[in-house]
Each structure stands twice: as C-alpha cells, then as structure tokens.
C-alpha cells in the first residue's frame, strides 16, 4: 500500500479572526453536501516544496469540514527521481535528451506504484508529473473521479516530453492548473479547473512573531537585524536563478555596502539536482561573509523562514519559470514588498508598482530592490497593500473553497 502521510489536526474555526465569519460560513455551505466523501491525494514527497506544504494544511482542513481524506506518497528510487526531475525541467521549457530508457524507468515505477494502490475513493487527486501515469495501470471503480493537479508552468513545454505525457492525461476526469495559460490546447480535458495555490496564515511559516523572536532566530545564523537584509526562499533549483540573485546583490552592494543576503532552500527527496545547485551557489558566494546560504540541513525550519522573511527589507523571488511561488505570497503576507521574476504565477501575486516589482533581468532586479531599500516609506506602503491582496486572494480557506466547489460540480 502507498505510504500514508500523517498531518496535524487543524480547525476551520481557528481562521475566523483572519478571514472573517462570512468566509467560514461559505466554506461550510460548500461542504454541506460532501460529508464523508472519500478523497485521496497522491504526491511524490511529504516534505520539501510547495505541493507538500499546501497539502499539510489542505488535507486536515478538508477533514475538519467532514470529508474523509487521505494523503499518500509514491515510492521512487534515485533513477526515477532523476528522470522525473528532467521531466519537470522539460515541461517548463528545458531542453533535454529524452530517451527510451527514461520512458522505461518512468513507466515501470508508475506501474509499481499502481500495484500498491488500495481502497475505494470518490475522488483521487494525483499531483504533478511524477505519478501521472499511474492511472493507466489502475483498476478502480467506475464511480471514482481521477483529477490531475499540475503545479508547474507548462506554457512552453518540451514537445517530446509533453507529447509522451499527454497520452496519460487524457484518461483523467478533470485537471487543475494554476493559470489558464499553462494549459496546452493539444490535450482536451473532460473538465478543467483553474485553482491558484495559497498559504496557511496560521502555520509556523506565516503566523505572527514578536520582534524578540525574529531577532533571536536571525542572530542565531550570524545575521545582523540592524543592517539591511534581502532574502530569497526557494529550492536550490536553476529555475529560481539563485546565481542571478547573488549577482543582483553584488550590484546593489556597491552603493549599499552594509547589505546582507540570505538564501534559504530545502533538500527534497524528489529533487536530486538540488545538491549540484547548492554547490554552485556556495562557489558563487565565495568568502562573502554577508551572504548566508541556509537550508533545512542547518536547522532552518518554518519558524526560521518566517523570521528571516519578517526581518528582511525586501523579499526576492527571481524565478525564470514558476508555477506559482508560494514565497511571494508569504513575503507579501508579512508586509514586505517583493521583487520577483515576471514568470508564471508570480505575475498574479505581484501587482507591479503596487505590492512590489516584476522584473526581467539581474540589472532591473538590482535597480528595483535598491529603490525599495532606499525608500522605506514606499516599501512599507507596498507591503501593506501586499498583505491586503494576499488576504483577499491567496489564503488556504480560498483554496479549500475552490476544491469543495470542484467536488460538488463533479459529483
């Protein structure tokens, strides 16, 4: 049987002070006809990355409103995750050599994971490309609705990999994408839903912290909270352009020599390229004592990320491709302006010139970040607007409503 992921209990009522009673009532109305429906989420990993982070909040909240929900993860060896990481890169437009051996590794592991599938469900949501082919090998009841949830930017995919994958996607009853422009016309889904991701305002990464707590966390890693700080939080992934972030920082430091940069990442089991990128970042950083390259391997968890984001003057998310980028909403939620790449889901979170800046290059990123560092009043105003925008659009209760509406429409 696929391994089940255990989650902490969450209560919808606890979000009332954040989102208001009307929002809570709307959620409960949508859940009224869904009591005890059986839902299964399948993903590639339980920790590391935005998918796992969302499910750690979404699954227990679905349970709290009366659904019978499980979350299970697939099994995979190093060859499989090396292959699916290449799939991920290719679907975001990367150029790879797509071989028959890669197809064999991918299909064999999906076939194996399908053999571990047990239980009867009304809805099965399969997240991202790694387990997408499982459905081809499953013998499930006809009443089960299978939904593919794509979290990545597939607007300009590698044609070979996309053509291979789309044969499996046609079998799904529905698909969920973050943005309409990510959906390729070559696949006609029976039902299509657009659901942007969201953050949990009450988890450790986003809950309020005192000034004392913030200072304690950042000082532990050598950062001086009295000096200007910019931060990027993301996987150690070339699509996040961490080397460009360091280059940007160095341009700004010519004029603001007291500037500090923290780059916070995580190592995920389904991202074997992370170590390679981590080493490249360290080489680019060199012996600059004002660059802090931190990860979960050094004890940086959700509370530490929270503190670094709150201690920062500006949040950076200089992605070249991005499905959504939860760290943008995280930064805005904490009242910080965000400078982000004009890519994918970042562009629906940053209102350019109002909650931060959308940028196209290292030079432009440096110019906009420097402007915010030197104009605190403007930066604070942008941060306030960003917090309001996230409250209205990108909190977990809104995503919960979207899923409940989807289930109601498919029943």
* Contacts of residue 127, Cβ cutoff 8 Å, sequence gap at least 6: 41, 42, 43, 44, 51, 55, 149, 151
The residue count for the chain:
411
Copy the structure tokens of residue 4.
């089940």
44-103 pLDDT tens trace: 999 878 999 999 999 999 999 999 999 999 999 999 999 999 999 999 999 999 999 999
Stretch 361-381: mean pLDDT: 98
Name the E strands within 166-259: 174-177, 192-194, 229-233
Q: Which of 91-100, 261-270, 282-291 is predicted with the least confidence, judged by mean pLDDT? A: 261-270
Distances (CA, A) of 318 to 91, 321, 394, 406: 19, 9, 20, 32
Closest C-alpha to 48, from 199, 268, 326, 303: 268
Separation of alpha carbons 102 and 79, rounded Å: 9
CATH number of 3-198+395-410: 3.40.50.2000
Copy the structure tokens of residue 382.
């942008």
* pLDDT beyond 90 at 273: no
Whether residue 198 contacts residue 181, with contact meaning beta carbons closer than 8 Å, is answered with no
Stretch 239-265: mean pLDDT: 97
Copy the structure tokens of residue 239.
């699509």
What is the per-residue pLDDT for 270?
61
Separation of alpha carbons 145 and 189, rounded Å: 13
**Domain definitions of the chain by residue range:** 3-198+395-410, 211-393
Closest C-alpha to 62, from 31, 17, 21: 31
338-366 pLDDT tens trace: 999 999 999 999 999 999 999 999 999 99
The mean predicted confidence, pLDDT, of the chain is: 95
* Contacts of residue 376, Cβ cutoff 8 Å, sequence gap at least 6: 313
What is the per-residue pLDDT for 164?
95
Closest C-alpha to 263, from 250, 276, 282: 282
Give the global pTM. Answer: 0.94
Buried b or exposed e, range 16-44, using 16+ CB within 10 angstroms: eebbeeebbebbeebbeebeebebbbbbb
Closest C-alpha to 252, from 371, 332, 411: 371
SS3 174: strand
Q: Does domain 211-393 have CATH number 3.40.50.2000?
A: yes
Are domains 3-198+395-410 and 211-393 of this chain identical in fold? yes
Separation of alpha carbons 351 and 318, rounded Å: 15
Stretch 303-310: mean pLDDT: 98
Rg (CA), the chain: 21
185-194 pLDDT tens trace: 767 789 999 9
């Amino acid at each position: 049987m696929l391994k089940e992921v255990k989650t902490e209990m969450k209560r919808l009522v606890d979000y009332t002070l954040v989102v208001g009673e009307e929002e809570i009532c709307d959620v409960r109305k949508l859940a009224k006809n869904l009591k005890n429906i059986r839902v299964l989420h399948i993903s590639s990993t339980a920790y590391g990355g935005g998918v796992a982070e969302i499910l750690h909040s979404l699954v227990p909240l679905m349970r709290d409103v009366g659904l019978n929900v499980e979350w299970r993860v697939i099994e995979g060896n190093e060859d499989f995750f090396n292959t699916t990481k290449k799939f991920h890169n290719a679907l975001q437009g990367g150029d790879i050599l797509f071989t028959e051996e890669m197809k064999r590794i991918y299909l064999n592991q999906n076939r194996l994971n399908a053999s571990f599938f047990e239980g009867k469900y009304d809805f099965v949501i399969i997240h991202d490309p790694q387990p997408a082919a499982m459905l081809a090998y499953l013998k499930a009841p006809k009443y089960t609705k299978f939904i593919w949830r794509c979290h990545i930017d597939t607007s300009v995919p590698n044609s070979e990999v996309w053509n291979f994958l789309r044969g499996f996607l046609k079998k799904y009853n529905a698909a969920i994408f973050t943005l309409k422009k990510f959906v390729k016309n070559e696949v006609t889904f029976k039902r299509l839903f657009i659901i942007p991701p969201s953050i949990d305002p009450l988890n450790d990464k986003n809950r309020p912290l005192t000034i004392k707590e913030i200072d304690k966390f950042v000082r532990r890693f050598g950062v001086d909270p009295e000096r200007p700080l910019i931060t990027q939080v993301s996987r150690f992934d070339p699509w996040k352009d961490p080397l460009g972030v360091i280059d940007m920082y160095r341009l700004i430091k010519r004029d603001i020599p007291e500037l500090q940069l923290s780059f916070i990442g995580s190592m995920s089991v389904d991202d074997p390229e992370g170590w390679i990128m981590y080493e490249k970042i360290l080489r680019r950083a060199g012996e600059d004592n004002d660059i802090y390259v931190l990860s979960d391997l050094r004890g940086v968890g959700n509370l530490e990320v929270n503190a670094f984001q709150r201690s920062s003057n500006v949040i950076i998310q200089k992605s070249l491709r991005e499905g959504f980028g939860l760290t943008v909403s995280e930064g805005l939620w904490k009242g910080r302006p965000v400078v982000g790449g004009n890519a994918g889901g970042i562009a629906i979170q940053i209102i350019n010139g109002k909650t931060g800046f959308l940028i196209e290059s290292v030079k432009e990123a440096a110019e906009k970040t420097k402007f915010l560092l030197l104009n605190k009043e403007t930066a604070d105003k942008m941060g306030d607007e960003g917090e309001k925008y996230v409250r209205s659009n990108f909190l977990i209760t809104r995503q919960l409503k979207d899923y409940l509406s989807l289930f109601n429409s498919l029943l």
